[in-house]
């Protein structure tokens, strides 16, 4: 392959597309930001890319619920092409509102399974928008975006991020299959309640991948931590701060180099 290409979807209300683009370009992807309508008009465009990012924001104002309108558009107008994209071994990343979109469109927890009733992302238990930095444990390395079990830091910014599976059986199945790849943890690196778990997610889940490990959705924002100066303590800790968010994009680039 001569060139690794990433595509960042844009739609009304999305506001993290440029940060996502910058992170992709920083690790070596040739990256385009295109309005989703371009793909509805010409779905074959997806074949030109190896990495698809659905970024954060408030798509279509979240008027019918977070991510619901764009999710319905993807489901009705682009789902066969998105499933072919996954079958071809390519990568999909949904961040915050993008995670909500992937879930409501049926691309997570399994893009090749038509049952979209297994999971939702509900209103935060606090009843308010949560916007701060949190700690996360990489609890499984099944995802191609996460290659080491460790604790990382990322910012969150959402009002509907509570990970809510249909029942305990599906939660157990995802846990056993390694799909629950990110969990909120407290200062002792163990699962904890609010405020460490900012939304009340069951089992402290912050991110889930599909059974192949190539589709990942998470509520925290990796694209907002791609440089040491993004961290709120950078003036005290200096350049030794590790930009944890950039690793998601580095791992994506390494996967594309190896496989596509």
CA dist 50 and 28 (Å) reads: 13
Strand partners, 64: none
Q: Are strands 205-209 and 215-218 parallel, antiparallel or unpaired?
A: antiparallel
- Give 177's contacts (C-beta < 8 A, 6+ positions apart): 142, 211
Q: How remote is the C-alpha of 55 from its chain's centroid?
A: 8
Q: At what angle do helices 68-77 and 97-105 cross, to 10 degrees?
A: 40
Catalytic residue among 17, 19, 73, 223: 223
CA dist 60 and 41 (Å) reads: 19
> For the chain, how big is the Rg over CA atoms in Å?
17
In the residue annotation, 35 being an active-site residue is answered as no
In the residue annotation, 158 being an active-site residue is answered as no
CA dist 87 and 96 (Å) reads: 24
In the residue annotation, 96 being an active-site residue is answered as yes
Query: What CA–CA distances, in Å, run from 240 to 30, 117, 147, 149?
Result: 28, 44, 21, 20
CA dist 123 and 128 (Å) reads: 8
Catalytic residue among 16, 96, 158, 209: 96
Catalytic residue among 17, 153, 158, 221: 221
Catalytic sites, residue numbers = 96, 221, 223
């Amino acid at each position: 392959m001569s060139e690794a290409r990433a595509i960042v979807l844009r739609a009304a209300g999305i506001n993290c597309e440029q940060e996502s683009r910058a992170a992709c370009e920083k690790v070596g992807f040739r990256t385009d930001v295109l309005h989703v309508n371009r793909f509805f008009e010409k779905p074959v465009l997806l074949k030109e890319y190896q990495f698809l990012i659905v970024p954060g924001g408030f798509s279509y104002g979240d008027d019918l619920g977070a991510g619901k309108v764009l999710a319905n558009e993807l489901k009705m107008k682009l789902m066969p092409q998105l499933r072919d994209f996954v079958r071809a071994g390519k990568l999909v990343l949904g961040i915050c509102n993008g995670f909500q979109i992937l879930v409501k469109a049926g691309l997570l927890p399994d893009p090749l399974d038509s049952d979209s009733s297994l999971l939702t992302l509900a209103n935060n238990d606090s009843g308010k928008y949560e916007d701060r930095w949190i700690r996360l444990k990489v609890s499984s390395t099944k995802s191609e975006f996460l290659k080491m079990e460790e604790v990382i830091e990322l910012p969150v910014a959402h009002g509907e991020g509570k990970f809510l599976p249909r029942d305990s059986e599906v939660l157990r199945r995802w846990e056993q299959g390694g799909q629950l790849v990110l969990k909120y943890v407290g200062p002792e690196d163990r699962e904890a309640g609010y405020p460490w778990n900012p939304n009340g997610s069951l089992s402290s889940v912050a991110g889930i991948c599909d059974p192949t490990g190539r589709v990942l959705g998470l509520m925290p924002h990796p694209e907002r931590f791609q440089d040491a100066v993004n961290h709120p303590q950078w003036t005290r800790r200096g350049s030794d701060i590790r930009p944890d968010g950039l690793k998601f994009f580095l791992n994506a680039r390494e996967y594309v180099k190896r496989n596509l």
